[in-house]
Every structure is written in structure tokens, then in C-alpha cells.
Structure 1
Amino acid sequence: MFKVNAKTFNPEILYVFDVTTSGSSIGSKHHHDFLEMSVIVEGEAFYTIENQLNHLEEKTILLFNPGVDHHEHSISGMESTQLHIGFRNVTLDCFPKNFFPIESPIIHLSEHNEDFFTICRKIMTERSANQPGHELMLKSLVTELIVLLLRDKYALTHQNTAVALSKEEQDKQQLVNDIIHYLEAHYPEDITLNSLAQNYFISPTNLSRVFKEETGDSPINHLIKIRLEQAKVLMETEKEITIKEISHLVGYEDALYFSKLFKKYYGQAPSAFLKKSS
């Protein structure tokens, strides 16, 4: 199994949806700047991947690294039920972020196959039920799918060393992983760029540079996102709670400032989100 840092393994789920198609259809050629998993749960479909046509049947997993061109089409008489998952913020030790070392995007599991597709059906059921907290449940189930891929003997390959990180790059990756873990564990506290730099014996300028190189974001923006995500969780799970209480619990003494940040990131005031969740 490929190594992952359990402290910082926290995939961001961008979308999860399932679709059933019947008859002739054709999609447009495209690629993503994130990871995508497409699972043929039932039926069959044609996928063109990097200009190569493939006829795929049920219980086939497609894992697309960022930048891999692909599109789907079907002909008359074809039917399929597919599950599509977009995600990012996944790092395997010694490899770039959001990259899986695979020889081909087309994967057939040699182990845990039944477990994998049982979870796929659980995801489809969870989406249909749309119960409170379903986003957390979906994230948990998608994380299970990723772990089963990592556990399989033949799904991933250790031979793709051309993109493996150098020792210096691995050290930077480890530093950023440690910082992210610290932010996730201490987000309610008073954290500044200077205090982070002191904790890790690095200058604020270098810390910001390395963090942005690895994540595309600044440490403080990442902290804000963690706090706001936690605020959403509180709104979805704690029914008898006020905006002021939520603000304090996630590290903001000023509830008005918290509300402005929340609206900026999520497009609605926390009061509206809390009312909707209730």
C-alpha cells in the first residue's frame, strides 16, 4: 500500500453524483485540474482516453489524474449507471499532490472489489436520501474508496518514478503537511503567520512561499477555510447554537467579521445557512 500521512489525509470532495443513461449519447473532450473517479457500476460505455477508444463494462473504475483528456459516448442499445467523483487535496508520500501513480486510468481491482462497489451503492443511496449531514457521510465513504484503491496490489504502480519527488521536494511537502495538521488541530487559537514561522523555525517569507508552492494558497487563507468548514459542520449538526457561539468556537471573537468572511466564501450569510440547515 502506498504511504499516506494519516494526520493530513483530508481529501476535499468537489462533487459526487450518479447518472443512468440509455441509448446514443456523446460527451465533449475535456480534462480537469483535479482528480476524477468515474465508476461504471452497471452496464457498459465507451470512453476515449488520450485519443484511445475503450469499451468498458460494469465494475470498471476510471481514475483520471489532472490534465488527462477523456470523454464518454454510447450507442443505441447501451445502458449504464455511473458514479462520478471529483476530489483533490490528496498526497501520496514521494509523489506530487493530486497525483496517483497509475499505468492506465482504467482500473480493475484484484482485491476488495466487492467492498468497493458496495460502498459505491451506499454513496448512491446516501445521495438519494439527502439526510442531514449527508456531505460528511459522502466524504467518509469517498475516503473509503480511495483507501481501497491504495490497498489493492495492482491498482497503482511503484514503477512510475519519473514524477517522484526529490528529497528537497519531499522535505517541503512534509513541512507543509505538518503545518496543515497543526492548523487543523489548533484552528480555534490565535494563529498568525509569525507564530507559525516561529513554531517551524523558518522565516515568515519562506514559510509563505513554500506553502503557496505546495498548496496554491497562503497559510492564513488555508486557516480561514478550515475555520469556515468547521463552522458549516457546527451549523449542520448543532441545532441549538448561535452565530456568536459558532464564531467563538472556530477562532473569531468578532462575530460580524466572521459573518462577512462566511458570506464571502459561501455566498450567503451564516444566519441563512443555519436557518436552512435547521
Structure 2
Amino acid sequence: MCDTYDITYSDLNPTLYFAGKRTVTESNFSHTHDAPELFIVLSGDLAIWMDGTTTPLTAGDIVCVPSHMPHRTLPTVHDNPAILFFTSFSNFHFKGMEPNRLDFPGGSSVLHTDGLVRQDITNLCLRMISERYSNQVGQYFMQKAYLTQLLMTIIRQITVPPKQSCSPVTFETHHKTYVVSEIRQYLSSHYAEKISLDLIARNMYLSSAYISKIFKEETGEAPINYLIKMRLERARIQLESDNGQSIKAISNSVGYDDVYYFSKLFKKYYGMSPVHYRSKYKKVV
């Protein structure tokens, strides 16, 4: 398994206190909250004053004001007032940050988003607002669900993915592994029957050349050699069981009608004929 960090329920189970949006046409009074407050600029321009520092903001900017920090918003362009989303919540703790605190890279107080990320965040904000006024059953939990998605979208922008201790599994790798697994399972179940690579390929809607190639890449041997070894292993077990079967019967039971060909293959792999192997095994036992 890959050694990766992921967020758990104990890290993120936010309690939502309020959510809304407003058009910033005038300054508000400096104030604080007992929980963090998240501001997201949906459109326009404004500034935010936090603990003595004024920072200009534009559409796509995100600010997370820590709990108990004095802050207020200020309009900057009166002919283009900002539309501001705001929400307050607690009960979250991300790796490398203090509980109930959202820190942005480089110690910045602002995270700027654009493109599809900004669009996704805006949509989540609007859904939270819409849900607030929906008067539907479970509206708090729907808002909480959107808030969770919102926070995860933000945290993915500021968190560097951990290095994986294993190689990533590509679609091609997964596909090869699956195909080879299916072939091995088929051979194990049908080794006593007449099997051809073309038949397997047709059943899997793949070419026999491709099947042969990926099977060798995954197992180190060609499908026919894998099948031969499997058949001979089954035959060896029957020879050792001393159940009175003839060599021909054993040959037929593992998929070989030609007992001479079977004996030739067995001798090639085990260094002696089936008859000699059975005789030697009896003496050893």
C-alpha cells in the first residue's frame, strides 16, 4: 500500500454557525467572532482590515479570519461593489495547522483562485446560500455538506500531495493485471479441455498477440508454457496419489489426448517419464 495522508472524520466534521452573502457598499464596524470566519469574493473589489493591516481583495480571493481577530470589510471601487460570501464554522483540524485554523502558503492571509477552481468554489457558495432559504428538510446538513466540499476544494489548493512510496497504478497497468488474472483463472478452470489462445482472445475481445504479450510481461512466461506447467503439475499430483489410474487416463484428464506427447513433455520438465516418476515416488514414500 502507498503511505499517504488523508483527512479523516476527526479532522473535518464542521459545525456551521452561519452563511450568507452581501454587497459591500460601505464599511462595517470592527468586530470579532468566537469561531473562524471565511470570506470569499464572488465578484468585484474590496479591502479587508484585519488586526491593523488592510489588504486589497478581488474576485476569486479567499480570506480566513481566525477566531477573536478584529476585522472589517471596506469598499474600494464604488461603481463596482464586491459581492462577498461569508460563513463561520468550527471543528476542523488540518495537518500542519492549529485546530480551527486555515493557513495559506507563505504565511499569506489571502488565497487567490481562478479558472475552474474559482467556478467550483463560487457554485458551492451559491448552493449554500440557496439551501439556507430553501425551507427544505435537512437544510442544515445540506449546507454542512456543501461547506465540507468547499473546505476540501480549498485545502487541495494549499496542500502539497505527499510523495507516494509505491508506483502509481495507471489505467493500462490495471487493465493488464485484470486481463492476465482472468486468463489465469480461465486456464485453472479449463486446463483439461482443448484450449487455444485464439479462443481466449475472442472471448475477451482482444487480439491473441496482445494477450500473449501482456501475459508474458506480467508472469514472465508465455500463456502456452504457463498452461503446460499447470497441466503437468496436476498430472504429477495424480501420479503421486497412486489411485490406480493409467498414464493414458492421467494424460487425458489434464488435456492431452496423445499419451506419447504427454510423456515427452513430462520427461522434459521433470527429467523422467511418468511411469518412472510414479515408480520412483513409490520407493521414496
TM-score by length of 2: 0.48
> Which has more radius of gyration?
2
